Amino acid sequence: MNRRKFLGLGLGLGAAAMMLPSTLSAVNFRETKTSAFEGPKSHTIDDAMTELYGTSKTTVGKVKLKAPDIAENGAVVPIHVSSKLAGKTVSVFQDANPESLVAVFTVPANGLIDYKLRIKMAKTGTVTAVVQDGTTLFSASKMVKVTAGGCGG
Amino acid sequence: MAKKTRIKAKEKKGITTAKVMANHAMLSYDEAKRKKTEANFITSMIAKVDEEIVYEASTSQFLSKNPFVQFKFKGSNKGKMLTFTWVDKKGNTKTDKKKIK
């Protein structure tokens, strides 16, 4: 009987572990907005933005985007997005790669909009950061010159 | 399979800054084609302190190899545990913990 119980417990634990990935995230944009990440609508910044937010109209300003003017190595382009807005989501786009959306951040209650990340860029392109505050989209763009491709190598 | 995620978290004046470096090849579709393997990259990252979400990101194939992210949040103090989890395209997941200093 004990052995039976033990086995049953093991199975239960295994099932719980399998369940984990699906319950991790409150909003997974890859599942809810797949078309913004992949497919025919993901190639340009405008299209991807429309897929994600329903509009590609943005107000320039209130968002700080730090990126290098010239990236010697396109495989590692440091990006820094910050803003004092109480935005709900932050997203990063670029137009150097086949698909333009890089990442979408959901800003939690205690989160500050101050994100650093490193991205890959196949060629010279423009990086755009968007902060969604209510129904308004605020954005900042910056051109990054890539001298050696990251996706090409 | 995957190596440990490197985490550094520091609290200063109520704001915690966390630096995280996940260990992942982040093969984009193009790179995978060249290497004749399947594309695989981190699709979602999440960080929690005491079951409260402090960082949440849906990411694509264009993050760099071994992606590094930095983020800040309020309302946490020293000694608490920061849990960082990522999930990749194949469904692999990795969770690591670190105390906030």
Domain boundaries along the sequence of chain A: 27-146
Give the separation between CA B9 and CA B17, rounded to whole angstroms.
Answer: 6
Per the CB < 8 Å rule, is B62 touching A106? no
CB spacing of B62 vs A112 below 8 angstroms: no
CATH topology for A27-146 is Immunoglobulin-like (2.60.40)
B46 neighbors B53 (Cβ within 8 angstroms): yes
Strand partners, A142: A127
Return per-residue pLDDT of chain A as tens, 153 residues.
566 565 555 555 544 444 444 334 456 666 666 666 766 667 777 787 887 877 778 888 888 888 888 888 878 888 888 888 887 888 888 888 777 888 888 888 878 888 888 888 888 888 888 888 878 888 888 888 888 644 544
Question: Which CATH code, of 3.90.550.10, 1.10.1050.10, 2.60.40.10, 1.10.260.40, is assigned to B6-99?
Answer: 2.60.40.10
Q: Of A111, A90, A115, nearest to A29 (Cα)? A: A90
Measured between CA atoms, the residue of chain B closest to residue A90 is B57
| Nearest alpha carbon to residue A93 among A132, A136, A36 | A36
- Tell me what percent of chain B is helix, strand and coil, each rounded to the nearest 5: 5, 55, 40
- Enter the pTM of the model: 0.76
Domain coordinates in residue numbering, chain B: 6-99
Yes or no, beta carbons of B74 and A110 under 8 Å apart? yes
pLDDT per residue, tens digit, chain B (101 aa), is 467 888 888 888 888 898 898 888 888 777 777 777 788 888 888 888 888 888 888 888 888 888 888 888 887 788 888 888 888 888 888 888 888 88
- A vs B: CB pairs below 8 A: 120
